[in-house]
């Protein structure tokens, strides 16, 4: 006969309580930290940005998704309850089998008692031994029934406990589901508020841009109206004031030069010696110098031979300026920082005139040229005065294109000259002429072709020379005037 072993289940009474208390009625705030880790943060009373709000709501949704896993706990409790019910059913079946065994043992004892009265001798002893065994089996069966009753009570207790735990888990799931729904609704509302704020920000930005464009258009229209009506503006007033200041500065500079010349004559001790000629004009780039007689006994300049030179100082070796044989000479960019001298060969003497100091650069010309260098090509309006040494009759406007690789002179679609920078190309200021010498340029594209071009202003003329020489230098070519390369060491 098979013996059933005793099974005992003991669990603490306070393992799962029906009254569950939570410290907070909502989920805590989290944020995404380093290595995509979600960490808890404290509430901040300051207004967060839109990006922080979106990140915060996203973290709350992720945490809510994790908390929904409580239903797994409820599923486990339900499985335990099903196992307890199964154990209860098995105990019931064992109880029914035990009752059947009692009936069989009682019937067997009755049969053996009846048999004991009919037999004698050794058979009777066997029957009595069998009756003793049946009674022992009955006692064991009774003990087993007691154990089964105790096991049944424990199973009922376990089933009741698991049923209560399952109910608590279901209630917890319902509460968490309600909290999750509230958090999801709050997240949706927050996302909607963020979207509305972004849309409002875009509308405000667009309206601001449109307003700025409208104001700019109004300003441009007003400027055009003022320009069309030729009304005086603040810029025009400033230009007039600047022109007046330049005039005053030129007069004071002329007076200063005159004083310097008188001081130089005084230092030489030749104050009583008559001075036949002198140099007049601002000693700066953008102007022109003129030799004029300052004594009645001075020979006519038309009958004298004139040659201009440049030097770094009065005692330094002077360099001949080829073609500068007129009484008027307009300094060019090569002359900046150098002293100019003019030798006048009269009938029986040589008279040397020297500027009071080095030629000054033109104000703002360097910055203007640096701005033009950034362009791929710059256009200048010019008029052709001479072509190949012959006066040019037409006074039509031509365009001189100075680029990084070449220089081109054209009129409309017709090209007068177009040459890449080469060692045969020459460009310099006109060395002679009248008052327009400061605005004229001598340009030789190649051997056999030359032009004398007049620009709109002295600034344009000097900028064109400096720009062409700058681009040519980038091509390892030194642009200069006739016989200037030897003096510059190129």
What pLDDT score does 21 carry?
A: 42
Report helix, strand and coil shares of the chain as percent, to nearest 5.
50, 20, 30
Q: Please, which pLDDT band fits residue 145 given cuts at 50, 70 and 90?
A: confident
What are phi and psi for residue 92, nearest 5 degrees?
-65, -40
Provide the 8-state DSSP code for 285: T
Residues 6+ apart with CB under 8 A from 138: 102, 105, 109
Helices (H), 230-298: 234-268
Q: How many residues does the chain have?
A: 490
Contacts of 289 (CB under 8 A, 6+ apart): 279, 280, 281, 283, 328, 329, 330, 331, 340, 342, 355
Which value, to the nearest 10 degrees, does the dihedral of the CA atoms of residues 402, 403, 409, 414 take? -150
374 and 461 share a domain?
A: yes
- Report the alpha-carbon distance of residue 407 to residue 443 in Å, rounded: 10
Q: Are residues 307 and 331 in the same domain?
A: yes
Contact 437, 430 (CB under 8 A): yes
Q: What percent of the chain has pLDDT over 90?
A: 21
Where in the sequence is the domain holding 317, given as residue range(s)? 277-359
Pairing of strands 377-387, 289-293: unpaired
**In this structure, is residue 175 part of a structural domain?**
no
Please indicate, yes or no, whether residues 383 and 440 belong to a single structural domain of this protein.
yes
In a domain, 73, yes or no: no
Residues 333 and 389 in one domain: no
Q: Are residues 468 and 389 in the same domain?
A: yes
What is the average per-residue pLDDT within 362-375?
90
CATH of the domain at 326: 2.60.40.2700
Tell me what the pLDDT averaged over the chain comes to.
77
Q: Is-contact 2 145, C-beta < 8 A?
A: no
Determine the Cα–Cα distance for residues 26 and 181; give it in Å rounded to an integer: 11
Judge if 463 and 376 occupy the same domain: yes
Q: Does one domain contain both 283 and 338?
A: yes
Are both 384 and 468 inside the same structural domain?
yes
Ramachandran region of residue 364, left (φ > 0), alpha (ψ -120 to 50) or beta? left
Q: What CATH code is carried by the domain that includes residue 442?
A: 2.30.29.140
Query: For position 392, what pLDDT does the model report?
Result: 86
| pLDDT (mean) for 220-244 | 69
Same-domain pairing of 398 and 468 = yes
Answer yes or no: is 75 within a domain: no
Flag the least confident range among 71-75, 185-189, 192-196: 71-75
How many separate domains does the chain show? 2
> Is 230 in a helix, a strand, or coil?
coil
Return the pLDDT at 20. Answer: 40
pLDDT, tens digit, for every residue of 301-338? 888 888 999 988 766 788 888 888 888 999 999 899 89
Say which residue the tokens 């009755």 belong to. Answer: 110
Determine, yes or no, domain membership for 48: no
The predicted model scores a pTM of 0.49
Q: For residue 398, tell me if it sits in a domain.
A: yes
Is the predicted pLDDT of residue 438 greater than 60, yes or no? Answer: yes
Residue 448 structure tokens = 């056999």
Decide which of 359, 375, 397 is a domain's last residue: 359
Shared domain for 407 and 452, answered yes or no, is: yes
Q: Is residue 395 part of a domain?
A: yes
Q: For residue 52, what is the DSSP state? A: H
Q: Let me know: does 391 contact 385? Beta carbons within 8 Å.
A: yes
Q: What is the CA radius of gyration of the chain?
A: 58
74 is a domain residue: no
Scanning the structure block, which residue is given the tokens 């901040």?
Answer: 44
Sheet holding 350-354, edge to edge: 319-320, 305-311, 339-345, 350-354
CB count in 10 Å sphere of residue 245: 10
Distance CA(221)–CA(216), nearest Å, equals 9
In this structure, are 370 and 446 located in the same domain?
yes
For the stretch 243-279, pLDDT in tens is 777 777 777 776 676 676 666 666 655 555 567 888 8
Q: Indicate the residue among 336, 359, 382 that finishes a domain.
A: 359
The closest of 326, 312, 319 to 357, measured between CA atoms, is 312
Helix 458-474, helix 365-373: angle, nearest 10 = 50
Q: Which residues of 35-62 are buried (b: 16+ CB within 10 A; e: fewer)?
A: eeeeeeeeeeeeeeeeeebbebbebbbe
Q: Are residues 401 and 468 in the same domain?
A: yes
Q: Is the pLDDT reported for residue 194 higher than 90?
A: no
* Residue that is last in its domain, among 333, 359, 385: 359
């Amino acid at each position: 006969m098979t013996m059933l072993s005793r099974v005992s289940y003991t669990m603490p009474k306070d393992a799962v309580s029906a009254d569950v208390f939570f410290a907070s009625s909502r989920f805590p705030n989290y944020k995404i930290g380093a290595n995509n880790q979600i960490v808890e943060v404290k509430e901040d009373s300051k207004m967060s940005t839109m990006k922080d709000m979106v990140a915060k709501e996203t973290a709350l949704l992720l945490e809510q998704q994790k908390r929904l896993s409580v239903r797994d706990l409820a599923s486990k409790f339900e499985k335990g309850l099903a196992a307890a019910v199964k154990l209860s059913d098995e105990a019931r079946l064992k109880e029914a089998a035990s009752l059947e065994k009692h009936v069989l043992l009682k019937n067997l004892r009755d049969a053996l008692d009846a048999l004991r009265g009919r037999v004698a001798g050794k058979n009777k002893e066997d029957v009595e031994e069998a009756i003793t065994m049946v009674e022992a089996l009955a006692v064991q069966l009774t003990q087993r029934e007691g154990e089964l009753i105790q096991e049944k009570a424990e199973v009922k207790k376990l089933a009741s406990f698991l049923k209560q735990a399952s109910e608590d888990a279901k209630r917890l799931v319902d509460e968490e589901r309600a909290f999750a729904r509230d958090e999801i609704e709050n997240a949706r509302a927050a996302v909607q508020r963020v979207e509305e704020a972004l849309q409002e920000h875009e509308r405000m930005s667009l309206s601001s841009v449109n307003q700025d464009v409208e104001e700019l258009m109004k300003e441009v229209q007003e400027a055009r109206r003022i320009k069309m009506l030729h009304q005086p503006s603040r810029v025009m007033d400033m230009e007039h004031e600047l022109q007046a200041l330049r005039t005053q500065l030129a007069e004071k500079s002329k007076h200063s030069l005159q004083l310097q010349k008188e001081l130089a004559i005084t230092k030489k001790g030749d104050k009583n010696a008559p001075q036949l000629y002198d140099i007049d004009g601002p000693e700066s780039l953008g102007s022109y110098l003129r030799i004029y007689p300052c004594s009645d006994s001075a020979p006519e300049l038309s009958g004298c031979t004139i040659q201009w030179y440049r030097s770094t100082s009065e005692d330094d070796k002077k360099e001949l300026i080829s073609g500068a044989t007129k009484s008027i000479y307009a300094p060019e960019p090569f002359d900046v920082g150098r002293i100019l001298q003019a030798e006048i060969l009269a009938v029986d003497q040589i008279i040397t005139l020297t500027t009071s100091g080095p030629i000054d650069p033109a104000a703002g010309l360097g910055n203007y040229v640096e701005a033009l260098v950034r362009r791929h090509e710059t256009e200048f309006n010019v008029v052709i005065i001479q072509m190949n040494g012959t006066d040019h009759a037409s006074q039509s406007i031509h365009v001189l294109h100075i680029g990084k690789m070449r220089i081109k002179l054209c009129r409309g679609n017709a090209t007068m000259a177009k040459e890449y920078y080469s060692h045969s190309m020459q460009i310099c200021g006109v060395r002679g002429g009248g008052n327009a010498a400061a605005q004229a340029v001598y340009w030789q594209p190649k051997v056999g072709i030359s032009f004398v071009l007049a620009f709109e202003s002295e600034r344009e003329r000097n900028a064109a020379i400096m720009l062409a020489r700058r681009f040519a230098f980038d091509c390892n070519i030194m642009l200069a005037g006739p016989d200037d390369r030897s003096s510059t060491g190129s």
